[in-house]
Structure 1
Amino acid sequence: MARWDGIDEFIAVGEEGSFTAAAKTLGLSVAHISRHVTALEQRLNTQLLTRTTRKVVLTKEGEIFLHQIKHLQHAMDDATQGLATHQTTPKGKIKLTAPVMYGETFIMPIVHNFMHDHPEVEVIATLSNEQEDLLEGGFDLAIRLGHLKDSSLKARRLSARRFIMCASPSYLRRFGEPHTLGELNNHQCLIGNSSYWRVHESEREKHIKIAGRLHCNSGWALVDGAKKGLGIVQLPDYYIGNEINSGELVPILTSYQPKQEGVWGIYPPRQFVTTNVRVLLDYLVAGLKE
């Protein structure tokens, strides 16, 4: 494979225009990138890059070589990933990340079923409410809730969530049920990470400011406060579905409920999805039935 040494590093530098950016993309050190690109130039006996203190520019020879060698890189990627698609049984390591509450409650039990059925799979799971960078963190799969921002990644819809405004019957008996958004100004609202709620009004989504005397960054704590009559809460349906079914909480202002949004499995942009990821996604879709 000596002929391939430095190729990935050179392509990254050529596309990013920077050794630093190339190092971040590949998850390697700047020194490693520089050393391998220099060795490649020496092996080819051709200067591929012009380096200055401020930027890196492809030489004419470098431009030609970059255009040609990228086809080989794509072919190598497709050949390598194509082998994985022919595995009949998932095996090896899969690294994934998901939001804490959703991951604990919904994702990991399905992952455990997947591992039980496929004993040759090793899972490294990171549950975090910070959106981890897939490429930088080396993740094979990430669970994202809501609207997707990074269009460079591949995504599969796993399920959906809805935000619902609700309150306990005791609160509504005591303070009355609001029928317009403006009436929320006369009510106690239980506030989570944001003092704005998403609503749908006049054919568009918007945010309204709410106020109240309880602020907490835990959805479960807000559910408990709502059940005990402390105020109105807006939460995703998976927090309050059981309470609504049991009558402990009552949906209100349903005509202003925002449209449902997706629960997604996202993964690095490859032509082929590895067997591990593909099969786990199938398990998640089946387990998170909308």
Structure 2
Amino acid sequence: MQRWDRIEAFVEVIRMGTFVAAARELSVSPSHVSRLVTQLEQQLDCALLYRTTRQIRLTDAGTLYYRHCRQLFDGFRDAEAAIGDLQGRPHGKLSLTSATTFGERFIAPLVNDFQIAHPQLEVRMHFTNRQVDIIDEGFDVAIRMGRLEDSSLIAKRLCERREYVVGAPAYFARAPQPHALTELHRHRCLIGSRNHWRFAVDGARREVRVDGPWRANSGPALLDAALKGLGLAQLPGYYVKKHLDNGDLISVLDAYRHDDNAVWAVFPRHRQRSPKLHYFINHLAEHLPQNFPL
């Protein structure tokens, strides 16, 4: 049993990114986790991790060992889920990741409702605007938006989402409204987590690089800057609907708005038979609005 404790500690350190986070997940002290990993390295007679004061990295041996050990623990979790299916209820741990604002506003309340209905389920939510590797970081499912790039994952469309280029009346009092994409370079563009905006031209997707004196990786901060007339912003409808309705913002370039911006649940292929994941994704699809505002 000691070996399994050591392997579990090693796997959780990699999944969670730090000894402290792994200890929190396992309900033990960080020193205990560190000791278990050291004992595992001694047992295998090789180093699995490079440890520095700032980060933890896998050695070549550690990468190989983690790949196999992760599959073992994934198998244990799937076995627990299968037992739960026999009992007619989701069971075990459910870990998910989503973009921060979207996750906090729309996903977290639905997860909480799901756990109320299934209190035997353990839930871990991780909200970040970083593109997470859900397999290596041990997540069951990720909520993503727009065009999907990773064909190795299975995706289920949950609902639609639209994006708008908007500006405040105060901004348009100083600058004319753009009517073509070629006019964007003459405007102050407020830049969020990406420096290109997505449009549709003659049915084809086009990305236009934008630039400006303002940048932040926060949707609420981007919205506030647009409302205060600092420039143009491209934001989802659920941010801007009420401000478009009351005239605080004006939508421009609507003829170029693209529709390839759905919300997806994506998960590894080996998770597709997981009962808890099946129940959960259906729960999201049923309760997320089929069209976000506008």
- Residues 93-242 of structure 1: matches in 2 within 5 Å? 93-242=93-242
Matched, 1:23 2:93: no
Would the aligned equivalents of 1:141 and 1:266 in 2 still touch at CA under 8 Å? yes
Q: What displacement does 1:240 show?
A: 1.9
Would the aligned equivalents of 1:97 and 1:128 in 2 still touch at CA under 8 Å? yes
The equivalent of 1:59 in structure 2 is: none
Would the aligned equivalents of 1:227 and 1:248 in 2 still touch at CA under 8 Å? yes
List, as ranges, runs of 4+ consecutive aligned residues in structure 1 with deviation greater than 4 Å: 18-22, 77-84
Q: What displacement does 1:81 show?
A: 6.8
Q: Distance in 2 between matches of 1:79 and 1:141?
A: 18
The equivalent of 1:3 in structure 2 is: none
Identify if the C-alpha distance between structure 1 residues 97 and 26 changes in structure 2 by more than 3 Å, giving closer, same or farther. Answer: farther
Q: Distance in 2 between matches of 1:155 and 1:234?
A: 25
Identify if the C-alpha distance between structure 1 residues 20 and 274 changes in structure 2 by more than 3 Å, giving closer, same or farther. Answer: same
- Residues 60-99 of structure 1: matches in 2 within 5 Å? 84-99=84-99
Q: What displacement does 1:247 show?
A: 2.4
Q: Distance in 2 between matches of 1:139 and 1:28?
A: 11
Would the aligned equivalents of 1:85 and 1:272 in 2 still touch at CA under 8 Å? no
Would the aligned equivalents of 1:82 and 1:272 in 2 still touch at CA under 8 Å? no
Would the aligned equivalents of 2:80 and 2:91 in 1 still touch at CA under 8 Å? no
Q: Distance in 1 between matches of 2:79 and 2:216?
A: 50
Identify if the C-alpha distance between structure 1 residues 267 and 182 changes in structure 2 by more than 3 Å, giving closer, same or farther. Answer: closer
Identify if the C-alpha distance between structure 1 residues 186 and 101 changes in structure 2 by more than 3 Å, giving closer, same or farther. Answer: same
The equivalent of 1:266 in structure 2 is: 266
Would the aligned equivalents of 2:84 and 2:91 in 1 still touch at CA under 8 Å? no
Q: Distance in 1 between matches of 2:205 and 2:115?
A: 40
Identify if the C-alpha distance between structure 1 residues 135 and 84 changes in structure 2 by more than 3 Å, giving closer, same or farther. Answer: farther
Q: What displacement does 1:220 show?
A: 1.1
3-state SS, counterpart of residue 234 of structure 1? strand
Identify if the C-alpha distance between structure 1 residues 168 and 280 changes in structure 2 by more than 3 Å, giving closer, same or farther. Answer: same
Code of the residue aligned with 1:23 in structure 2: it is Y
Structure 2: 5+ residue runs without aligned partners? 1-59
Q: Distance in 1 between matches of 2:122 and 2:134?
A: 18
Deviations 1:142-190 (CA, angstroms, capped at 9, x unpaired): 2122222222222211122222111112322342211112222322211
Identify if the C-alpha distance between structure 1 residues 113 and 80 changes in structure 2 by more than 3 Å, giving closer, same or farther. Answer: closer
Code of the residue aligned with 2:112 in structure 1: it is H
- TM-score, length basis structure 1: 0.69
Q: What displacement does 1:216 show?
A: 1.9
User: Aligned pair count?
Assistant: 229
Q: Distance in 2 between matches of 1:94 and 1:238?
A: 27
- TM-score, length basis structure 2: 0.68
Q: What displacement does 1:203 show?
A: 3.0
| Cα RMSD after superposing both structures | 3.0
Would the aligned equivalents of 1:93 and 1:123 in 2 still touch at CA under 8 Å? yes
- Residues 35-74 of structure 1: matches in 2 within 5 Å? none
Q: Distance in 1 between matches of 2:155 and 2:95?
A: 16
Would the aligned equivalents of 1:99 and 1:143 in 2 still touch at CA under 8 Å? yes
Counting aligned pairs with the same residue, the percent is 35
Q: Which has the larger radius of gyration?
A: 1
Identify if the C-alpha distance between structure 1 residues 22 and 286 changes in structure 2 by more than 3 Å, giving closer, same or farther. Answer: same
Structure 1: 5+ residue runs without aligned partners? 1-17, 33-73
Deviations 1:211-257 (CA, angstroms, capped at 9, x unpaired): 32222222211111111111111122232233223322111110111
Q: Distance in 1 between matches of 2:120 and 2:80?
A: 20
